[in-house]
């Protein structure tokens, strides 16, 4: 396999990490909450799509829009209204938000286990739906399929849409104003509750998209949980706030670089050094997360959770 093929395959695989990490970054950037439950919401959404299409036989053109445009955003609206709104209004600490988030994580894992059991693999025959037909393309010595292409197109569209939203729209300005200074935003006639609700809806919609893209060919909760750890690593590399860095790190650092390193055999095919190198490449996301946490003295903090009490506006123009 040529290096160009390895890099391209890695970029396709890294696209899913980029989408997941971008969803976590967006939620934090818009609400100040580090959403550890992002991947469990995606897992739950993937199970619902499988139930609707694979078990009940509801057409994909109905079940997929329902999961991506109604279920995912609806979960975000419910979380904002019943879990995080009261925390935001009383200026809850980062620790309190983290505990609430862990509760949401356990809730969705428990719901998935309670409704569907241990998993689809091995005890169910219904197919896990995918949003694209199977087809393979070959351009010279380069080959890829529709699944890989769908990953890349999805992350490019999501990245462009989110960048445009936060950078060039009034809604994006209101989202950042609310997370920066909720009281000041409300004094400026911004409905902070509605803005936070929109941000949560978008973030959980991205979580649903991540789960649906990652699920085929089989639903395996353990695989998606480990994938969630890699999404967290992407968000940390992006310092929790940079959407472009989240996308680039997912595509290049967690995708292309990982596949290139995995293709090398600098210590031969056996031996202790070979085993250590295989462990290094096999746990690449953990290595990157460890290096990022050491390299960054602090992660960027937004709004009221900043130790100085200064958010973006206050840091620029004074208290």
For the chain, percent of residues with pLDDT exceeding 70: 90
Contacts of 300 (CB under 8 A, 6+ apart): 239, 240, 241
Average pLDDT over residues 232-252: 88
State the pLDDT at residue 281: 85
The closest alpha carbon to 39, from 206, 192, 283, belongs to 206
State the pLDDT at residue 124: 52
Q: In the predicted model, is pLDDT for residue 261 greater than 60?
A: yes
Confidence tier at 303 by pLDDT (50, 70, 90): low
State the pLDDT at residue 302: 59
Q: In the predicted model, is pLDDT for residue 44 greater than 90?
A: yes
Average pLDDT over residues 188-194: 81
Q: Beta-carbon neighbour count of residue 116 at 10 Å?
A: 18
Average pLDDT over residues 281-302: 79
Q: Which residue has the higher pLDDT, 143 or 220?
A: 143
Least confident of 6-20, 44-58, 303-317: 303-317
Average pLDDT over residues 308-313: 43
Q: Write out pLDDT tens, residues 102-120.
A: 999 999 988 988 888 765 5
Count the helix, strand and coil residues of the chain and give each as a percent rounded to the nearest 5.
75, 5, 25
Q: In the predicted model, is pLDDT for residue 245 greater than 60?
A: yes
Cα–Cα distance, 301 to 97 (Å, whole number): 13
Average pLDDT over residues 254-283: 83
Confidence tier at 157 by pLDDT (50, 70, 90): very high
Q: In the predicted model, is pLDDT for residue 176 greater than 80?
A: no
Least confident of 126-135, 167-176, 208-217: 126-135
Q: Where are the beta strands (DSSP E) in 56-150?
A: 136-139, 142-145
Residues in the chain: 319
Q: In the predicted model, is pLDDT for residue 279 greater than 60?
A: yes
Q: In the predicted model, is pLDDT for residue 318 greater than 50?
A: no
The DSSP 8-state label assigned to residue 56 in this structure reads: S
State the pLDDT at residue 310: 44
Mean pLDDT of the chain: 82
Q: In the predicted model, is pLDDT for residue 294 greater than 90?
A: no
Residue listed under structure tokens 């993937």: 46
Q: Which residue has the higher pLDDT, 41 or 90?
A: 41
For the chain, which domains are there?
3-130+144-317 (1.10.3470)
Q: Which residue has the higher pLDDT, 171 or 68?
A: 68
Average pLDDT over residues 48-73: 92
Q: Is 133 left (phi over 0), alpha (psi -120 to 50) or beta?
A: beta
Longest Cα–Cα distance of the chain, Å, equals 67
Least confident of 40-44, 101-105, 260-264: 260-264
Confidence tier at 142 by pLDDT (50, 70, 90): confident
Confidence tier at 300 by pLDDT (50, 70, 90): low
Q: Which residue has the higher pLDDT, 134 or 253?
A: 253
State the pLDDT at residue 1: 60
């Amino acid at each position: 396999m040529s290096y160009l093929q390895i890099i391209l395959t890695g970029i396709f695989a890294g696209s899913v990490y980029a989408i997941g990490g971008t969803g976590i970054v967006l939620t934090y950037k818009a609400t100040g909450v580090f959403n550890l439950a992002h991947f469990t919401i995606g897992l739950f959404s993937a199970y619902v799509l499988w139930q609707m299409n694979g078990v009940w036989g509801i057409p994909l053109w109905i079940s997929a829009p329902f999961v991506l445009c109604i279920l995912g955003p609806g979960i975000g609206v419910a979380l904002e209204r019943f879990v995080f709104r009261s925390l935001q209004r009383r200026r809850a600490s980062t620790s309190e938000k983290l505990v609430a988030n862990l509760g949401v994580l356990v809730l969705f894992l428990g719901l998935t286990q309670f409704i569907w059991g241990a998993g689809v693999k091995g005890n169910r025959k219904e197919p896990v739906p995918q949003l694209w037909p199977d087809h393979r393309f070959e351009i010279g010595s380069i080959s890829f399929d529709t699944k890989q292409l769908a990953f890349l197109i999805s992350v490019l569209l999501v990245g462009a849409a989110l960048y445009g939203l936060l950078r060039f729209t009034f809604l994006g300005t209101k989202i950042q104003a609310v997370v920066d200074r909720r009281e000041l935003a409300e004094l400026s006639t911004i409905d902070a509750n509605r803005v936070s609700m929109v941000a949560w809806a978008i973030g959980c919609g991205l979580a649903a998209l991540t789960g649906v893209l990652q699920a085929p060919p089989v639903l395996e909760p353990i695989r998606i949980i480990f994938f969630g750890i890699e999404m967290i690593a992407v968000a940390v590399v992006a310092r929790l706030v940079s959407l472009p860095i989240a996308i680039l790190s997912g595509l290049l650092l967690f995708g292309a670089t990982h596949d290139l390193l995995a293709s090398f055999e600098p210590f031969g095919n056996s031996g202790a050094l070979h085993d250590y190198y295989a462990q290094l490449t096999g746990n690449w996301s953990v290595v990157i997360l460890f290096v990022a946490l050491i390299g960054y003295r602090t992660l960027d903090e937004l709004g009221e959770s900043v130790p100085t009490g200064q958010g973006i506006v206050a840091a620029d123009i004074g208290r």
